[in-house]
Structure 1
Amino acid sequence: MAEAGAAPSCRRFTWEEITPRSGKAEERWLVIERKVYDISQFHKRHPGGSRVISHYAGQDATDPFTAFHLEKSVVRKYMKPLLIGELADDQPSFEPSKNKQLTEDFRELRATVEKMGLLQPDRLFFFLYLVHILVLDVVAWLNMWYFGTSLLPFLFTGLLLGTVQAQAGWLQHDLGHLSVFGKSKWNHWVHKFVIGHLKGAPASWWNHWHFQHHAKPNCFRKDPDLNMHPLIFALGKKLSVELGIKKKKFMPYNHQHKYFFILGPPALVPFYLQWYVFYFAVQRKQWADLAWMVTFYIRFFLTFSFFLNLKGLIGLFLLVRVIESHWFVWVTQMNHIPMNIDYDQNVDWVSTQLQATCNVDQSLFNDWFSGHLNFQIEHHLFPTMPRHNYWKVAPLVKSMCGKYGIEYQSKPLLKAFADIVYSLKDSGELWLDAYLNK
């Protein structure tokens, strides 16, 4: 998504003409700063992926464009040929479904954030963060070298390596969001190293998956985090009832708060993502990403083959992935599963993010443990903001929410974990009631 200069023609459009071009047919249009762009063919070449830009087809994409792109002058080069006109003078800048005043206030807030320098990264922070990950990696190896391979050293090494995987996951998240360096290409280069060599996953997969989530969080069929859930979990009040009315019973959803502890945290990474990332890289011919991934496995198995046989190596690898999986699922889902889940209602950027996210109270441990994703609200509103600045913008965001009577949720860490289970229980009961009685 990008903006451009003056329209090459005087053609004017109404929202009634734009809204149907939502991608359900061949034509896909979107609006950025009142300019109308035809992305019917460009979406296939969009550097951020076809789906993420298509999620805003037929809608105003001004705020996501501003939020996602670091070097807007570069992006303009892609968009100039796509400009087909602009909104007619009598047309509002926002669709009726969007809160005009809230959007204008948020754009003023973003301008303030830019003036305060809160979008500028502290490279020393991220350098030290990378160093602490590498130190933990080395300590894990030294622990087994010094103490041997008996049960306790083996488990402690697994815990250290699981911590490395979790913390490297938060760092690659920063790089993927272009929040570590001022140039997009530097973020992309280091991102490939961190997610590829330190974690064994493809950067292209993360970009394809995660930016869709940010574009339309908790929007069914647009947020890929929800795509496989109906096969295993019934999420959200509306969708759970819908599944029940349609007599869909892929799983006994009224028990999902129980089997979550089996099919959720311990299983996602080692039994799904572990193979899927390879499938993704090969299927999309991302050979550079695949090469980076292979270096992770070579390093892991070579360095620990000094101490362990093949059975021990596989056992250690699975232990690390299970620890990482628990860490990843609890942290990433505590901010989203308990929140509103629905189809895309095409509301304004601020409302879209706030209804799908909540925060976890700040502390040094919570910041480190979650990679600052305890500030999920601020992260979703300003995805390129370096994480060390979330706490500075949080009071401004909270004040804006108070002005419009929008709930700004922040809760203790353990309560956030418990709310995942409670929300699964509630939605499972809604499904059962609809399944039996409607």
Structure 2
Amino acid sequence: MTIAPETTTPDVRVAIPSSKKRTGVLPTTGAPLVRPDAAAHLDDAQVAALGAELDAIRDEVIAARGADDAAYIRRMIRIARTLDVSGRIALAVSKSRTGWLAGTGAIALGKVLENMEIGHNVLHGQWDWMRDPDIHSTTWEWDFVAPARGWQHTHNDIHHTWTNVLGKDRDVGYNILRVDHQQPWKPRDIANPVVNLMLAPLFEWGIASYDLEWDMVGAGVKSKEDFKSDLNALKQKAIRQVLKDYIASPAAGMFFGNSFKRGLAGTVSANMIRNIWAHSVIFCGHFPDGVDVFTEEMIDGETRGDWYIRQMLGSANLSGSRLFHILTGNLSHQIEHHCFPDLPSNRYIEVAPRLREVCDRYGLPYTTGPLPKQLFQTWKKICQLALPDENRWETMKSAYLPKMFKRSAAASAAAVG
């Protein structure tokens, strides 16, 4: 049996509150004011042809979606839920270290699958074509502190529309990290490595806070009423997550003679493992060497083909086995995901060779590599950008030394007094 495909055409919309909104389907002809250096050798006709080729690939996959794809996502959901339940049972009833490790590992693995391969992709609308109200972007709520609706706004609407455009894509450093030389250095950036080190195990809480758009309220772009509404949604979601993971599960173990502390250590560890994994995969898809950042000038007059090019240049893939791809939520195919965010994730592995061939034929880079290499590059960049680009000593001296001298002088005066 084949499930009837949708007949809608792809479009790229913007939902960021702004005075310059992008609406409707991007044109297939024309040209932006400036193309990225990596695509400067392409003329308008070539860019239009590239866009048509990628549209054709997308339409082909949409037409081929069917029962096998539906069975895949339902199987992933069953596996994730089975791992989560069995892990919590093992954590509650077992008294050995092996049982604790097995239970914690099962919960962590279940959360990885639920967040990465299921939640992230369901919330992108990849499975809306199934018309299943339980597996739909408008009804799914994932096992993550960040409420689904708020995340869809900042991620689907803003990040995927304005991928790596400085001043529009707030995911470029998540407003707390300097990840590109085009971002002006600030004194706070000296803490780049420490902030990122703390962000990794607390990633779900960092994303939840980020989705509130504190900075948009301060800039007068987001109303205080909308902020309060989002904050209330976060509070309600956080309470449910804390009750489930940090109270109910540890308390269940007490009925079998285990301590609350033992169960709590298991669920905290499971969430930290999931957070560190998600942080690593997502950062390696956006910040390693070879990923471009764009100016607003480059998107003025952007066509459909230019949008595809920006997605390819602004993303990086991870190489690995099929199991590795599943555990990353197929975000190891970040380039394919950014070009086709609404295609079923299990299809990216078959689309990837075709997209790479298109890049080779048009002379465009296709950034990919193993996780250790990409992770090293990402951390190296974050550490390097903690320092000013030029006149480092003079810049840092002017930023920090006056404050240090003032504090020293005040302390001396207080001591004399």
Q: CA offset at residue 398 of structure 1?
A: 1.3
CA–CA separation in structure 2 for the residues paired with 1:62 and 1:182: 20
Give the distance between the partners of 2:161 and 2:90, measured in 1 at CA. 43
Corresponding residue for residue 331 of structure 1: 281
Change (3 A) 1:151 1:251: farther
Residue 322 of structure 1, aligned match among 264, 272, 282: 272
Deviation of the 1:141 alpha carbon: 1.9
1:371-410 mapped onto 2 (5 Å cutoff)? 371-410=329-368
Cα 1:367–1:205 change in 2 (3 A) is same
- Rounded to whole Å, the distance in 2 between the matches of 1:208 and 1:386 is 20
Indicate the structure whose relative CO is greater, using CA pairs within 8 Å and at least 6 residues apart.
2
Deviations 1:54-111 (A, max 9, x none): 4963x68634x99xxxxxxxxxxxxxxxxxxxxxxxxx64434356322332223312
Is 1:208 matched up with 2:153?
yes
8 Å contact 1:192–1:292 — kept in the other structure? no
Of the candidates 356, 360, 364, which is equivalent to residue 314 of structure 2?
356
For normalisation by structure 2, the TM-score amounts to 0.71
1:235 aligns with 2:179: yes
Contact 1:200 1:292 (C-alpha < 8 Å) held by counterparts? yes
Matched to 1:237, the amino acid is H
Equivalent pairs, count: 350
Q: Which of 368, 378, 396 in structure 2 is aligned with 1:420? A: 378
Q: CA offset at residue 184 of structure 1?
A: 7.4
2-structure distance, mates of 1:184, 1:322: 34
Task: Give the letter for the 2:148 counterpart.
Answer: A
Q: Which one of 182, 185, 188 corresponds to residue 250 of structure 1? A: 188
Q: Which amino acid aligns with 2:168?
A: K
Question: What is the rounded CA distance, in whole Å, between the counterparts of 1:279 and 1:220 in structure 2?
Answer: 16
Please state whether the residue corresponding to 1:158 is helix, strand or coil.
helix
Find the counterpart in structure 2 of residue 127 from structure 1. Answer: 74
Deviation at 1:162, TM superposition (A): 2.1
Q: CA deviation at 1:421?
A: 1.4
- Name stretches of at least 5 consecutive residues in structure 2 with no aligned partner: 1-10, 36-42, 215-225, 396-417
Aligned counterparts of 2:383 and 2:340: Cα–Cα separation in 1: 32
- For normalisation by structure 1, the TM-score amounts to 0.68
Gap change, CA 1:186 and 1:55, over 3 Å in 2? farther
Contact 2:202-2:275 within 8 A present in 1 as well: yes
Structure 1 residue runs of 5 or longer lacking an equivalent are 1-31, 34-47, 67-91
Cα root mean square deviation, aligned: 3.7
Secondary structure in 1 matching 2:178: coil
1:24-423 maps to which residues of 2 (within 5 A)?
50-51=15-16, 54=18, 57=21, 62-63=25-26, 93-97=30-34, 100=44, 101-117=46-62, 120=65, 122-148=69-95, 151-170=97-116, 171-182=118-129, 186=133, 189=136, 192-195=139-142, 198-211=143-156, 212-226=158-172, 228-229=174-175, 231=176, 233-239=177-183, 242-243=184-185, 248-252=186-190, 256-257=192-193, 259=194, 262-270=197-205, 272-273=206-207, 283-284=228-229, 295-300=240-245, 301-308=247-254, 311-312=261-262, 314-338=264-288, 339-344=291-296, 345-346=298-299, 348-423=306-381
Q: Which amino acid aligns with 1:422?
A: K
Closer, same or farther: CA 324–116 of 1 in aligned 2, 3 Å:
closer
Are residues 402 and 190 of structure 1, via their aligned partners in 2, closer, same or farther at CA, if it must alter by over 3 Å? closer
Amino acid at match of 2:123: G
CA displacement at 1:294 relative to structure 2 = 5.1
C-alpha separation in 1, matches of 2:24 and 2:30 = 11
1:224 counterpart SS class: coil
> 1:112 and 1:433, CA in 2 relative to 1: closer, same or farther beyond 3 A?
closer
